[in-house]
Amino acid sequence: MPKGLRRWLTALGLLAACAAQAAARPNIVLLLADDWGFSDVGAYGGEIATPHLDALARQGMRFANFHVAASCSPTRSMLLTGVDNHRNGVGNMRETIPQSHLGQPGYLGVLNDRVVTIASLLRDSGYRTSVAGKWHVGKEPHNLPPARGFDRSLVMGDSGSDNWETGKRYLDLTDKVYWFEDGREAVMPKEFYSSQFYVDKTIDYLRAGAGSGKPFFAYVAFQANHIPVQAPKEFIAKYQGRYQAGWTALRQARRDKAVALGLVPPDTAMVTMGTSTDWDQLSPAEQAYQARRMEVYAAMAEAMDFHVGRLIAHLKASGEYDNTVFVFLSDNGAEASDPYATTLGRWWLDREYQRDFDQLGAKGAYSVIGPSWASAAASPLSTYKFYSGEGGIRVPLIVSGIPGMPQDRIAHSLAHVNDIVPTLLDLAQVARPGNRYQGRPIEPLAGTSMLPLLMGQSDRVHAPDEAIGYELSGNQALFLGDLKLIRNIAPVGDGQWHLYDIRRDPGETRDLQQAQPEAFKTMQARYASWAEAHGVLAMPEGYDPIHQVLINALVNVYVPRWRNPALALAAGLLAWLALRWRRQRASRKP
């Protein structure tokens, strides 16, 4: 055989071997929604049209008992690292962290240097990696995507921004919207629609690397449905009149559908939160306005699903779909906050946005759904974003596309966001890094691989005696088997410990502390041990998350802007007095 032909055949054999190895390692698409409630997805009992997510659910597994943190960046930090947020540096969000905690061990508000991301592990093992969307785990050069394992990236670095105008902030929490492409400040179009733009970027990155022969990891972190709630008018039109019956009726309908789907037990009860308003006490005009808010929210979710469908269509057209694993989740429960409820928030928003009925969802308009609709979005669970009730931290998780996995199943096993990194590593045939990575010490992974459960080889992820602790902004929980110990601070909680069986009572309606006193006592002790081991700090006396957001805005934005500490202090005092007056007034209501 001629020497040239032999070399050519040898090279061809190596290429074939590389192609076979790449085919054995799946592509991975990680889809992260922002502030979606447990039952917002159609496959979870919602009325919102999410056909592409529903199709993924039918082709894979829905998790009915999956938990994250109750706010954005702590969840994102664990999703990327598989390390508890108190150990990875994001013990609290930058927006809500008490000033006395900032900079303390575990409370940087950004990723620390003792963690390695799933993107780094995959890239170093031969994957091409990309991210498009909301980042929110650090804007320092060493925390931007290129330094955290991503080959290509287009990210918005903050907690949120406008969905129509790239330079417009959603609140006065930063001096500007920070956009980065491949680690450098990005040149952005003046206008876009966020969900469409992030999918466009992802498709561009996939096309650019299509000839590499490498599998890919694509992380798409949507802004939908973070405030401001905005959507294209053609999607809003689909929901006109859909929510005229109000939030109580919607909450019941979603609960009934979740029961029918087998996601929650038939006897699942629900609590009516004290922050919910009686729909029937609203005037017809108020009902119409509130219904339009939910129409825009539903439209924003459907628009996101539509663009997920565009990504799926691209993968099918490129021949990559059959070798792609999809993971979809929300970063926390539905958002109940209304920035207009604070003096400073209303003052700023009234200068930047309008909120006329006919304009809700459009460019220049600002909408939220508020606590009553947020409670419906979390149905049949209790509480919502920021709180440790199931409505704040139990979210949809869909995993689809693993070769050989049984289809259209529901997992009732307790699972946690820290479990995603070890699961993806197993799928990609990448070893866990242990306590060191590339010569430097790192925090070990905290989660457990869900792959045996996904493949039908096990019926649970965590052992019944394995405790999983949780804390964020003073709201606390401990999971042990089917039991959950929980304490929420005011104004939603009473500051006391409660005990629930969240498998049988996901709505957290039957406190078991009297019926199971030993478990109640033991779990408090185990929570205390977990909190000490993870460096959890006690919240300052009188901590209020809304008040803290105002303080942090003043410190991070207004003081540098005004360069007049006395003026900033006076503004802070006025904001504090206004908040105190509002709270005292609320406490006097019967």
Using CA atoms, how far apart are residues 491 and 413, in angstroms rounded to an integer?
A: 31
Secondary structure of residue 250 in the 3-state scheme? helix
For helices 284-317 and 247-261, the axis angle rounded to 10 degrees is 40
Q: Give the whole-angstrom CA distance, residue 392 versus residue 374.
A: 10
Contact 45, 263 (CB under 8 A): yes
Q: Name the 3-class secondary structure at 582.
A: helix
SS3 state at 359: helix
Q: d(Cα 202, Cα 219) in Å, to the nearest integer?
A: 8
Q: Is 72 one of the catalytic residues?
A: yes
Q: What is the rounded (10 degree) CA torsion for 257, 258, 264, 265?
A: 0
Contact between 129 and 123 under an 8 Å Cβ cutoff? The reply is yes
Are 331 and 85 in contact by the 8 Å Cβ rule? The answer is no
Segment (H or E) for 468? strand 467-472
Pairing of strands 184-185, 483-487: unpaired
Residue where the block lists tokens 């003046």: 190
Cα dist from 176 to 90, 170, 571, whole Å: 22, 10, 21
Active site residue 226: no
Phi/psi for 476 (5° steps) reads: -130, 155
Catalytic residue among 72, 101, 498, 547: 72
3-class SS of residue 10: helix
Max CA-CA distance within the chain? Answer: 95
Which residue of the set 136, 226, 416, 498 is catalytic?
Answer: 136
CA dist 159 and 92 (Å) reads 13
Residues involved in catalysis: 72, 136
